[in-house]
């Protein structure tokens, strides 16, 4: 049975779609912007084992970021402060306190900013393949993808999907690329990436007072392990867990190792 989609309004007037399932300690699973569509992700079979495990003893909260999925699409502000407003709208609507945050990739700086501003509300911070400064993620691969984003939306989504799943997973990558295109428009993704280029939360890292777990799969080429090491080194008392595997998606590959790390944290 699909969860009931609800809406919260941000302080700048954007409607944010979210759902909550399960009972127990709240865990807010923050959206990965290009793959942010609550209904489609709920139906995706590859995510079901993770969802079922997480809701067994927790209240799982998921939302679509502004400009994506079931949230308000007609927006042009994807700044760090705007994305923090999305998270604030949902947790304030649900009156969550305290709650844990799980943030992957570009959601990481948003979670870091929120946790620095509201340390009393965040019980645990879990960062997956994330970073503090967006320009540190630049590589020949990301620059090539950026050129595709400007010129060919379909090829961009197909290439990104193959990067996430591997080039041997042709059918799965095709479905993922279709979900990307359902999640947001090319123009929205371009606006998001423009906003991301200037994001830098490095100065906030020493201020974090929240227990933090940094997770990274060693063999993933899409993001550099040194970025995760840098996060763990700069956040007071943070734990770094380096896992085995080649999938940059936590719900694929050795999912059990990811869930064990979260449970033990």
| Residue owning tokens 């050129």 | 147
Whether 96 contacts 61, CB under 8 Å: yes
Top-tier CATH class for 6-136+199-264:
alpha beta
Beta bridge pairs of residue 74: none
pLDDT recorded at residue 17: 99
Strands laid side by side in the 25-29 sheet: 6-9, 15-21, 58-63, 25-29, 99-104, 122-128, 212-217, 239-243
Q: What is the pLDDT of residues 58-91, one digit of tens each?
A: 999 999 999 999 999 999 999 999 999 999 999 9
Domain edges within the chain = 6-136+199-264
pTM, full prediction: 0.94
Residues of the chain with pLDDT under 50: none
Question: How many Å apart are CA 175 and CA 147, to the nearest integer?
Answer: 22
Question: How many Å apart are CA 97 and CA 92, to the nearest integer?
Answer: 9
């Amino acid at each position: 049975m699909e969860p009931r989609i609800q809406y919260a309004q941000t302080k700048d007037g954007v409607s944010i779609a979210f759902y909550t399932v399960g009972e127990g300690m709240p865990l807010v699973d923050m959206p990965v912007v290009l793959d942010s569509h609550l209904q489609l992700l709920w139906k995706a079979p590859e995510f079901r084992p993770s969802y079922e495990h997480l809701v067994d003893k927790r209240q799982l909260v998921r939302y679509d970021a502004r400009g994506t999925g079931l949230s308000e699409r007609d927006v042009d502000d994807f700044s760090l402060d705007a994305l923090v407003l999305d998270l604030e709208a949902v947790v304030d609507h649900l009156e969550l306190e305290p709650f844990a945050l799980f943030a992957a990739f570009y959601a990481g700086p948003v979670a870091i900013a929120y946790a620095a501003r509201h340390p009393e509300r965040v019980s645990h911070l879990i960062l997956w393949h994330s970073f503090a400064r967006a320009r540190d993620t630049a590589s020949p691969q990301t620059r090539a993808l950026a050129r595709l984003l400007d010129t060919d939306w379909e090829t961009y989504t197909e290439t990104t999907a193959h990067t996430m799943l591997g080039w041997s997973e042709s059918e799965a990558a095709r479905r993922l690329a279709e979900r990307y295109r359902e999640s947001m428009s090319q123009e929205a993704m371009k606006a998001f990436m423009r906003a991301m280029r200037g994001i830098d939360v490095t100065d906030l890292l020493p201020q974090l007072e929240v227990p933090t777990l940094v997770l990274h799969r060693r063999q993933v080429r899409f993001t550099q392990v040194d970025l995760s090491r840098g996060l763990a080194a700069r956040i007071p008392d943070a734990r770094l867990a380096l896992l085995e595997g080649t999938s940059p998606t936590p719900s694929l590959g050795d999912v059990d190792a990811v869930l064990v790390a979260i449970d033990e944290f």
